[in-house]
Amino acid sequence: MKVAIVGLPLSGKSTVFDAVTGMAHDPAAMPDIRHGTVHVPDARLEYLTRLCNPKKVTEATIEFVDIPGGAATEAGARDGFRRALPEIRLCEALAVVVRDHDAPTVPMYRDRIDPAADLREIWDELIFGDLDSVTTRIERLERALKKPSKTRDHELRELEALRRCETALEGGEPVSGVLTADEDRRLLASFAFLTQRPMVVVRNVSEDHVAGPAAPLSEHAAQTIALCASAEAEIARLDPDDRAAFLEDLRIELPARDRLIQACYEVMGMVSFLTMGPDEVRAWTIRKGSTAVEAAGKIHSDLARGFIRAETVSYDDLVAHADLRGARAAGKVRQEGKTYVVADGDILNIKFNV
């Protein structure tokens, strides 16, 4: 899972990236694209580790990409963003950072603190990016359709779907609204539309505003969180032992890293299942609604091919009965078939035969 951190210049993108990865950046240096792989915090793994004492513990991972914003001028920002579009298209979700603090130490990008307007500006760039791909392809198809072709039917269908996208985008709406049928989505999958990406909005607020819920700024964002990027970046670089005290001081319940990852899982519709044994305790990420055989395939294709059943216990049931033996005695260990829909926190033991 790969998430692009995007936003206007000086909104705090690189600082948010630092907060989730524990890295550091020099705000004075030329911005550079950065990639960081983060282990997904999961307290459930700790419990299972105490139970199994495994040789290895493997957390799920998520990759964040710090997208450089270009120079802090209107033309520079637009140019920088457009140059970064190919990189953004490689990511499955977007975290849009908007400045929502007025610290005088940070120069203002165009004389305003207006997170909703900044978000609209980013949204317009996403619309622009998609519209650009759509119109280019429409022109090409229209030319091609003037000549006879064996693939004419397919091209006509594509053209029709693209025209719907064009209309939506011209009205400032995402293509996701008009590509609801699976067939349309398949037909246009190669476009990797930006306005189809699930979006988390990160309001970069000052330290005294982190408590309380974050009001949404756009109907297009499935999740909105508020955090103070600079404080969180410092916290992320602290010794884990000192971290708790700082978080408490700032009345932060969960660090930014955890909250942003949770929000990304949420907007992407991802859940985790767990496996445990003497060799390895591990968390796996799958799409919500995945079946037991799909989960098995995530582990290894042999497990999907030779799938017999999934011995399943929910993490909560396991904890309630202390361990696997206790859960089994209480009848909480189920034998599930191929089509069982895996729930978040299910502990699976795949029985298979190849």
Q: Which is nearer to ligand GDP, 9 or 174 (CB)?
A: 9
* Interaction of residue 106 with ligand GDP, rule CB under 6 A: yes
- Those residues whose C-beta lies under 8 Å from the C-beta of residue 49, and which sit 6 or more positions away, are 57, 281
Phi (first) and psi of residue 291, to 5 degrees: -95, 170
Window 5-34: contact mask with ligand GDP (x via CB under 6 A): --x-xxxxxxx-----------x-------
Q: Which is nearer to Mg ion, 31 or 255 (CB)?
A: 31
Closest CA to 219 of 172, 265, 185, 179: 172
Give me the least distance between CB of 15 and ligand GDP, in Å please. Answer: 3
Which range touches Mg ion (CB under 5 A), out of 28-36, 103-111, 242-250, 275-283? 28-36
Least spacing, CB of residue 325 vs ligand GDP, in Å: 49
Q: Pick the closer one to ligand GDP by CB: 196 or 230.
A: 230
- Asked if residues 340 and 311 have their Cβ atoms less than 8 Å apart, the reply is no
Asked if residue 69 binds ligand GDP (CB under 6 A), the reply is yes
Nearer to ligand GDP, 105 or 190 (CB): 105
Q: Is 31 in the site for Mg ion (CB under 5 A)?
A: yes
**Positions of E strands within the chain:** 2-7, 34-39, 56-58, 61-66, 93-99, 199-204, 223-227, 270-275, 280-287, 307-314, 334-336, 346-352
Q: In sequence order, what are the residues at sequence separation of 6 or more whose Cβ sits closer than 8 angstroms to the Cβ of residue 85?
A: 129, 194
User: Cβ of residue 233: shortest distance to ligand GDP, in angstroms?
Assistant: 8
Which one of ligand GDP, Mg ion, none interacts with residue 12, CB within 5 to 8 A by kind?
ligand GDP
Asked if residue 229 binds ligand GDP (CB under 6 A), the reply is: yes
Integer Cα distance of 282 and 291 in angstroms: 18
Closer to ligand GDP by Cβ: residue 69 or 129: 69
The β-bridge relationship of strands 334-336 and 280-287 is unpaired
Nearer to Mg ion, 31 or 297 (CB): 31
**What is d(CA 280, CA 257) in angstroms, rounded to the nearest whole number?**
25
Closer residue to ligand GDP, CB minimum distance, 13 or 197: 13
Phi, psi of 261 (to 5 degrees): -65, -45
Q: Which of 14, 195, 196, 224 binds Mg ion (CB under 5 A)?
A: 14
Among the residue ranges 30-38, 95-103, 237-245, 328-336, the one whose residues contact Mg ion (CB under 5 A)? 30-38
Phi first, then psi, for residue 223 (nearest 5°) are -140, 140
> Two tokens at 310?
């999934």
Q: Which of 321, 284, 199 is nearest to 310 (CA)?
A: 284
Stretch 232-291 residues interacting with ligand GDP (CB under 6 A): none
Q: Rounded distance, CA 349 to CA 354, Å?
A: 16
Residue of minimal Cβ distance to Mg ion: 14
**Which of Mg ion, ligand GDP, none has residue 70 at its interface (CB below 5 to 8 Å by kind)?**
none
Is residue 103 at the binding interface for ligand GDP, with CB under 6 A as the rule?
yes
Q: Which residues contact ligand GDP by CB under 6 A?
A: 7, 9-15, 27, 69, 101, 103, 105-106, 204, 206, 228-230
Q: Which residues contact Mg ion by CB under 5 A?
A: 13-14, 31
